[in-house]
Amino acid sequence: YSNVGYAILGAAVARAAGTPYVEYVRGKILRPLGMTSTDFVLSSGMQARLAVGVDYDVLYKDTLNYEDAAADHRNGPGLGVPSGGLYATVGDVAKLVSLQLGFGPDSVLSLAALRQRNGVPVTSFPTLDFGYGLGTQVARWGDTTAVGHSGNTAGYTSQIYYDVASRFGVIVLRSAAGGHS
């Protein structure tokens, strides 16, 4: 897994599509899914609803750091956009999870492509509780194998997992990062 690898992949997508990566994602994924509260840049409306992010820094005597997250909003995601540079609401993320579970639309990702992706074994070890699949993280809890991904940036963390077999997903967005495990 490599954020730099995703940045390179984003550049390749942009070159192949003949359009900037951000515009490609907006036009081919976000708009068709109706993700109207998701973007790479904070609009004034999104800014008004944004939770204040905080880092709990155990290295500096358990201090709270609000400045790093605030600075990221001012500076923007830069080259890290393809590896995770979106602002989104839980409702919009649910639309993306719904797509992954096979609820369409086919114009974004066809059922045939989903079947092909879901047919690739996610792990080869029955005792493995966590691993990586095709662009996803894979986790097992009992007899459930779920795919998804975690994410973090200064002041924020996220976790999204879904089980294709049960057609059920879980989304957690948190305006805090760091802390004790």
Q: What is the 3-state secondary structure (H, E, C) of 3-45?
A: HHHHHHHHHHHHHHHCCCHHHHHHHHHHHHHCCCCCECCCCHH
Q: Where are the alpha helices (DSSP H) in 18-151?
A: 21-25, 31-33, 44-49, 67-75, 90-100, 111-118
As given in the structure block, the two tokens for residue 67 are 């400045």
Q: What is the pLDDT of residue 164?
A: 86
Chain-centre distance for alpha carbon 124: 25
Q: What is the pLDDT of residues 142-167, one digit of tens each?
A: 888 888 888 888 889 999 999 988 89
Provide the total of helices (H) and of strands (E) in the chain, helices listed first.
7, 8
- Give the three-class secondary structure for 11: helix
SS3 content of the chain, % helix, strand, coil (to 5): 40, 25, 35
- Give the three-class secondary structure for 71: helix
Task: Give the span between the Cα atoms of 120 and 167, in whole angstroms.
Answer: 17
* Mean of pLDDT values over 88-111: 93
pTM for this structure?
Answer: 0.85
* Mean of pLDDT values over 105-129: 76
Evaluated on CA atoms 136, 151, 172, 109, the torsion sign reads negative
pLDDT band per the 50, 70, 90 thresholds, residue 2: confident
179 Rama sector, left if φ>0, alpha if ψ -120 to 50, beta otherwise? left
